[in-house]
Structure 1
Amino acid sequence: MEADDERVRRFVELRRRQQGVFSRAQAVAHGIDDGVLARRCRNRQIERIHQGVYADFTGPLPWSTRVWAAWLACGPEAALTADTALRWHGLSGDWQDSSIRLAVPQDRRIDRRTGIRITRHQDFRSWLLPGREPHLVRLEIAVLTAAASRVDPDRRAALVLDACRQRRTTPDRLLAELTRLPRLRGRTALLQILTDAATGVQSFLERIYLTRVERAHGLPTGDRQVRAADGTTVNYRDVEYLPHGVIVELDGRAGHADASSTWRDMHRDNAATLHGKTTLRFGYQLVTDPCAAAGQVGAALALRGWPGTITPCSPTCSLGGEFSRRRWRVSGAIPGKPS
């Protein structure tokens, strides 16, 4: 009798740990046969989620329950990957979790199951994070495979940079992992994103500025995440053109919406002005009109001695023609106005 009570207790604990999910094999191991499972399904005491996998409750399934159910249906030679793994690792983001994403060895064949997406990999075992259930790929693998699944290059970059900004990984660690994934889809684009991140780019908006404003229009290369101390306060400037005293701050929606952040930004800009520096601030208009931002930054740099020339980014660039050929000097020429 005590042995039966202990078996029941272990089965209850197993289901609790697995978010209410159990497999047929687990039920049989704890003394519950197929007849009992069928009867409890008919009485709506349990619910079958996949073939051979049940939940000990009925109704809507939480995301964590669906993850356990998918892994029990496809495991144990399966591991959470891509968006599913990122969410399980605890990263914040707009994860694509309508389907549970699992990786399996290349030679593994699994029948299609509703709500589960399977990818096969030759180097599957080297991806795993040891000692975890459900099995889980390492964070860097999850970031790279999730990014590779994005068709939109901007979303791909945003995902990689957000993972680094949350300080759960670094560009160097991701670059090292990428060298071991020669067949990863979009590998060349990911290499460029990570190279930019290694220079100090920390957000999607910062990379838009680097690629579509600074590089595309021939502006000088700024220093990124420049440490600036003001008494006991330490700030980091997104981009600073140190020889010319021009600062560019890039304000995305996150981190700049509340009153304290707004005051912090104003204090930082005012401190820079008191030290004789000019601050230009841009938001998401960079995505739709990078040329206008390039014109303003180029004009500010020219007023402070930059001898360069803005290069139009395309035949339709608003900085083309006579405007692009003008070499702005400290004389005070303003783009768009007569000298």
Structure 2
Amino acid sequence: MNPVLRVLVEQGGGLVTRWLAGQVVPSWTLDRASRAGHLCRVLPGVYLDARLVTPMPGRPPLASVPPELARRAALEYAAGQGALSHLSALNVWGVRQQTADEPVHLTVPAHSTLRSRPHLVVHHRRHFTVAQPQVVMRRDVPVTPLDRSLLDAWPVLPPAERPAPIIRAVNDRRTTAERLRAELCGLPKLPHRAELRVLLDRLAAGCRSPLEIWGHDHVFTGPGMPPLKRQVRVRVGGRTSYLDVYAEAERVNIELDGASTHDDPRQREIDLRRDALLATLGILVVRFTHRRLVHEPDQVRREVLAILAARRWSAGGYGPVTSPGSG
């Protein structure tokens, strides 16, 4: 390879564009390096060091490089006319890792001449400009804002994977159900909008995991079930705890143990100590496993109602049940 061109490729972390190379070497130099197998053209005008490309039968070159490098190549192809969005934006925001078999997503203005390529999906959006507030810089990368990225990715993901990035973003306090609802108002034609609204309603109600949402829908609402609070903050023993599902009048904390909890002795020990501390406040902790909640929802519901009834009877005989102190 031409020594000057090699330096450009190395300075670009294995990437060079035809425009940049054309500033210092004749265009035929780039073509010769490509024909010789030193460079691989992954997008129009964008070349990678061939050593970074792992050719795979039936896969385009852009799909044969690490996802981060593929996103860099896509942005070079856009040449300032677009920003990472959808699944690619979620990766940049750190709420979902994009897999190597998923295409890079770019959003560009409606009038842009850029178009989709193998392993690259270009979304043309009306009234879109590559500037704030529609585009922000994160890790020196232009990307659509988190709230918009989450909603854009919703119909692209398989149904079973759609809630996870939104739940994670809300749990990490990087957005709220209310903010996402406001953003959704501007997307009246978003596919699967009804299911998304249900998820946002559950998050607004305090649910913080798919298991809690399942419990809300199949166990902890309906006839006979009193109003229950979710993710109640309680200060005890110098520590702050959050109660999954809390019956305030009866002082019963219902904990929903994830599928892996019973296999982790250390977590089990932590849970037991926490339960003991809550008992000093008169709070009864009742735990249900993932298996029982999913496969025996009716039985779990009957047990919860029986426990709450027993606590109310006990309170009637021994004095009122009061709310826990919280900080």
Q: Give TM-score, length-normalised by structure 2.
A: 0.79
CA separation of 1:255 and 1:11: change in aligned 2, threshold 3 A: farther
The aligned amino acid for 2:122 is I
Q: Which moved more, 1:95-104 or 1:218-227?
A: 95-104
Q: Of 193, 196, 202, which aligns to 1:196?
A: 202
Cα pair 1:217 1:294 within 8 Å, conserved: no
Corresponding residue of 2:156: 149
Cα pair 2:9 2:49 within 8 Å, conserved: no
Cα pair 2:91 2:98 within 8 Å, conserved: no
Tell me how many residue pairs correspond in the alignment: 298
Q: Are residues 1:44 and 2:40 paired? A: no
Corresponding residue of 1:23: 17
SS of corresponding position for 2:157 = coil
The aligned amino acid for 2:161 is R
Please list, as runs of the form range in 1=range in 2, the aligned pairs for 1:253-268 lying within 5 A after superposition: 253=259, 258-268=264-274
Cα pair 1:51 1:73 within 8 Å, conserved: yes
User: 1:301 and 1:28 mapped to 2: Cα distance?
Assistant: 76
Indicate the percent of aligned positions where both proteins have the same amino acid: 30
Q: CA RMSD in A?
A: 3.1
Please list, as runs of the form range in 1=range in 2, the aligned pairs for 1:1-339 lying within 5 A after superposition: 11=8, 15-16=12-13, 20-29=14-23, 31-58=24-51, 59-60=53-54, 61-93=65-97, 98-125=102-129, 127-130=134-137, 134-152=141-159, 154-215=160-221, 219-253=225-259, 258-285=264-291, 286-305=293-312
Deviations 1:20-51 (A, max 9, x none): 2222112212x133211121123322211122
SS of corresponding position for 1:127 = coil
SS of corresponding position for 2:38 = coil
SS of corresponding position for 2:108 = strand
Cα pair 1:83 1:95 within 8 Å, conserved: no
Corresponding residue of 2:320: none
CA separation of 1:288 and 1:52: change in aligned 2, threshold 3 A: farther
User: 1:256 and 1:136 mapped to 2: Cα distance?
Assistant: 40
Deviations 1:237-264 (A, max 9, x none): 1111011122111222578864443222
User: 2:117 and 2:71 mapped to 1: Cα distance?
Assistant: 13
Gaps of 5+ in 2: 55-64, 318-327
What is the deviation of 1:140? 1.2
CA separation of 1:231 and 1:272: change in aligned 2, threshold 3 A: closer
CA separation of 1:175 and 1:112: change in aligned 2, threshold 3 A: closer
What is the deviation of 1:132? 7.3
Gaps of 5+ in 1: 307-328, 331-339
Deviations 1:2-28 (A, max 9, x none): xxx9x9899467513xxx222211221
CA separation of 1:180 and 1:97: change in aligned 2, threshold 3 A: farther
Cα pair 2:92 2:138 within 8 Å, conserved: no
Deviations 1:196-217 (A, max 9, x none): 2223221111111112222356
User: 1:171 and 1:96 mapped to 2: Cα distance?
Assistant: 30
SS of corresponding position for 1:304 = helix
CA separation of 1:151 and 1:57: change in aligned 2, threshold 3 A: closer
Cα pair 2:5 2:21 within 8 Å, conserved: no
